[in-house]
Amino acid sequence: MRLLKTALVAGALAVLSATTIASAYAQETKIGFIVKQPEEPWFQDEWKFADQAAKEKGFTLVKIGAEDGEKLMSAIDNLGAQGAQGFIVCTPDVKLGPGIVAKAAANNLKLMTVDDRLVSADGKPIEEVPHMGISATKIGEAVGQAIVDEMKARGWKAEEVGAIRVSYDQLPTAVDRVEGAISVLKANGFKAENIFDAPQAKTDTEAALNAATVVLNKNANIKKWVAFGLNDEAVLGAVRASEGVGIAADGIIGVGIGGADSAINEFKKPAATGFIGSVIISPKRHGYETALNMYEWVANNQEPEKLILTAGALAKRDDFEKVRAELGIE
Ligand code: GLA
Distance 42 CA to ligand 1 centre (A): 7
Query: Distance, CA 4 to ligand 1 centroid (Å)?
Result: 62
Closest ligand 1 atom, residue 134 Cα:
12
Supply the pLDDT for residue 119: 98
CB atoms inside a 10 Å sphere around CB 121: 8
The alpha helices in 66-204, defined as continuous H runs, are 69-81, 97-106, 136-154, 172-187
- C-alpha to C-alpha distance for 39 and 263, rounded to whole angstroms: 15
Question: How far does the centroid of ligand 1 lie from the alpha carbon of residue 281, in Å?
Answer: 9
pLDDT per position in the chain (330 positions), as tens?
Answer: 455 455 544 555 454 454 445 444 445 899 999 999 999 999 999 999 999 999 999 999 999 999 999 999 999 999 999 999 999 999 999 999 999 999 999 999 999 999 999 999 999 999 999 999 999 999 999 999 999 999 999 999 999 999 999 999 999 999 999 999 999 999 999 999 999 999 999 999 999 999 999 999 999 999 999 999 999 999 999 999 999 999 999 999 999 999 999 999 999 999 999 999 999 999 999 999 999 999 999 999 999 999 999 999 999 999 999 999 988 877
- Answer yes or no: is the C-beta of 116 below 6 A from any ligand 1 atom: yes
- Protein residue with least CA distance to atom 10, ligand 1: 231
> Hey, whose CA ends up nearest to atom 12 of ligand 1?
115
Q: CA angle 288-169-252, nearest 5°?
A: 85
> How much distance in Å is there from the Cα of 231 to the middle of ligand 1?
7
Cβ–Cβ < 8 Å for 234, 203:
yes
Q: Is there an atom of ligand 1 within 6 Å of 115 CB?
A: yes
pTM here is 0.91
Pocket test for ligand 1, best of 116, 171, 178 (most atoms within 8 A of CB): 116
167 lines ligand 1 (CB under 6 A): no
Q: How far is the CA of 255 from the centre of ligand 1 (A)?
A: 15
Q: Which residues of 75-92 are buried (b: 16+ CB within 10 A; e: fewer)?
A: bbebbbeeebbbbbbbbb
CA-257 nearest atom, ligand 1:
10
